[in-house]
Amino acid sequence: MQGPDIAWYLVVAAFLFSIGAAGVLLRRSPLIVLLSLEIMLNAANLALISFARLHGDHDGQVFALAVMAVAASEVVVGLGLIVAVARRHIDLDVDRLRVLRG
């Protein structure tokens, strides 16, 4: 079974990663920032699986599974934080959550 060349998968992965990075950098809602982070993680997953296919072994797939598990945990923590912030009636805006400035 022959598919598109490996380069195309990597292009898609890079494209997804850039979209995610732009979302993290540009959006102000923490919810969207979290979503963008997920997109970046999935871009990485796609690249990993592509390379696994290229090399013909399963190492990349194992890594991708590990990344999914980490991503799930990260969403739990991140959403928990966002809910906690919202409960305190603080604006959901990452630019205003900057008490840790020097």
Partner 1 sequence: MTAGAWICLLAPLAGAVLITLLGGTISRRTAGWVSTLSVFAGFGGAVTAFVGLVDREADEREVVTSAWTWLGSGGFSVDLSLLVDPLSATMMLIVTGVGGLIILYSVGYMDGDDEERRYFAYMSLFVFSMLLLVQAGNFLLLLAGWGLVGLASYLLIGFWHQRPEAVAAAKKAFVMNAFGDATMALAFFVLIWQVGSLDFVAAFEGAGELSDTAVNLVALGLLGGAVAKSAQIPIHTWLPDAMEGPTPVSALIHAATMVTAGVYLIVRAHPIFELAPDVADLAAGLGTITLLVAGFVALVQVDIKRVIAYSTMSQIGYMFLGAGLGAYGNGMFHLMTHAFFKALLFMAAGLVIHHLAGEQDMRRMGGLRRAMPRTFLAFLIGALALAGMPPLSGFFSKDAILASALASGSYGQLLFVGGAIGALLTGIYTFRMLFIVFLGEPSPLVREHADGHGRREGPWTMTVPVALLAVLAVIGGWVQLAGIWHPFADWLDPIALEREHLALVEPTVTQDYVASAIAVGLGLVGIGIAWMFYGARARPVPRWSAVQTTLEHKLWFDELYDAIFYRPAVFLTRLLRRNVEEPLIGGSIQGVTLGAREAGGAVGEAQTGYLREYALAIAGAVAILVVVFVAVQ
H-helix or E-strand containing 25?
A: helix 6-26
Interface pick for partner 1 out of 10, 19, 21, 92 (rule CB under 8 A): 21
Residue 11 interacting with partner 1 (CB under 8 A): no
Distance separating alpha carbons of residues 31 and 37, to the nearest angstrom: 10
Q: Can you tell me which of 1, 5, 89, 95 binds partner 1, judged by CB under 8 A?
A: 95
* Residues 16, 84: Cα–Cα separation, whole Å: 30
101 binds partner 1 (CB under 8 A): yes
| Subset of residues 24 to 63 that bind partner 1, contact rule: CB under 8 A | 24-26, 33
* Angstrom distance (rounded) from CA 78 to CA 73: 9
Residues of this chain that interact with partner 1 (CB under 8 A) are 21, 24-26, 33, 94-95, 97-102
